Chain A
Amino acid sequence: SSSINGHDEL
């Protein structure tokens, strides 16, 4: 699930 602000990468 991608996070609220869309940054699901490190």
Chain B
Amino acid sequence: MNIFRLAGDMTHLISVLVLLLKIYATKSCSGISLKTQELYAIVFVTRYLDLFTDFISLYNTVMKLVFIGSSLAIVWCMRYHRVVRRSYDRELDTFRYWILLGVSFILALVLHEKFTLQEVFWAFSIYLEAVAILPQLVLLQRSGNVDNLAGQYVFFLGAYRAFYILNWIYRYLTEQRFTRWISCVSGLVQTALYADFFYYYFISWKNNAKLQLPA
């Protein structure tokens, strides 16, 4: 464990807590893409198949349970909570995410570390996570200026993977045989997708204006 990875995990945890806070406090999920939340639930379930077979550390197990639990709780809330579900932007959240699922799965069948069920699903979850934010970015684009909690959620989510890239560089420099090409390349693509959002987020923060994304 290094400081970059810890910062990344904490930032990731903050992004989930910000989202849960927004939904719980305001009983509203306007501006949040259910499709992105469902993709994240699939990412965590398919990535943590080793939850009960591999014990790495208490921290690792607890964080896995938190990520799986919170992502499923958010999806449940947005789908079935009688108050929250009314504020879901159903007509704006129309990203055809089956494409993302299909492409990620096919890519995982071709590119993986070992051809075992667990490794193919692990690679699938890595590829899927890189593109899972797309429905949310499209929704932010369509709904124009975002309310700041939705913007903060995306900001922390992007920052977490940027910290992980620093972690991979650090591990590559300090551990001889550290190679995680699948994670590194996918993580770079993921962070790049946030780049334009970060730009507009910084501009709005600098001008102390509401976040305006070009339609």
* Partner among A1, A5, A9 whose Cβ is within 8 Å of the Cβ of B119: A5
Kindly state the separation between the CA atoms of A2 and B63 in the bound complex, as whole angstroms: 16
Instruction: Check A5–B60 contact: CB distance below 8 A.
Output: no
CB-CB < 8 A to B67: which residues of A?
10
Q: Kindly state whether residue B56 has any CB partner on chain A within 8 Å.
A: yes
CB-based contact A10/B122 at 8 Å: no
Which residues from B are CB-within-8-Å of A2?
Answer: 56
Query: Within the complex, which residue of B9, B53, B118 is in contact with A10, where a contact is CB–CB below 8 Å?
Result: B9
Asked if residues A3 and B56 are in contact (CB atoms below 8 Å), the reply is: yes
The size class of the interface chain B forms with chain A is 20 to 34
- For A7, list chain B residues within 8 Å (CB): 50, 54, 122
Determine the distance from Cα of A2 to Cα of B113 in the docked complex, in whole angstroms: 15
Given contacts A9-B183, A10-B60, contact A4 B54 (CB under 8 A): yes
For residue A8, give the distance in angstroms from its CB to the closest CB of chain B: 5
Q: How large is the interface on A (under 10, 10 to 19, 20 to 34, 35 or more residues)?
A: 10 to 19
Query: Is the pair B60, A8 in contact by a Cβ cutoff of 8 Å?
Result: yes
Within B55-78, the residues touching A (CB, 8 Å) are 55-57, 60, 63-64, 67
A3 & B12 in contact (Cβ 8 Å cutoff): no
Is A3 in contact with B54, judged by CB distance below 8 angstroms? yes
B5 at the binding interface (Cβ < 8 Å): yes
In the assembly, what is the distance between CA of A8 and CA of B57, in Å?
9
Are the C-beta atoms of B12 and A10 separated by less than 8 Å? Answer: yes
Q: Within the complex, which residue of B50, B63, B183 is in contact with A3, where a contact is CB–CB below 8 Å?
A: B50
Contacts of B63 in A (CB 8 A): 10
Provide the residues of chain B in CB contact with A4, threshold 8 Å. Answer: 50, 53-54
Tell me how far the C-beta of A4 lies from the nearest C-beta in chain B, rounded to whole angstroms: 5
- Cα–Cα, bound, A3→B54 (Å): 6
B5 & A9 in contact (Cβ 8 Å cutoff): yes
Binding site for B on A (CB under 8 A): 1-10
In the A-B complex, the 8 residue pairs with the smallest Cβ-Cβ separation, listed nearest first, are A3-B54, A3-B56, A8-B56, A4-B54, A10-B63, A10-B9, A7-B122, A5-B118
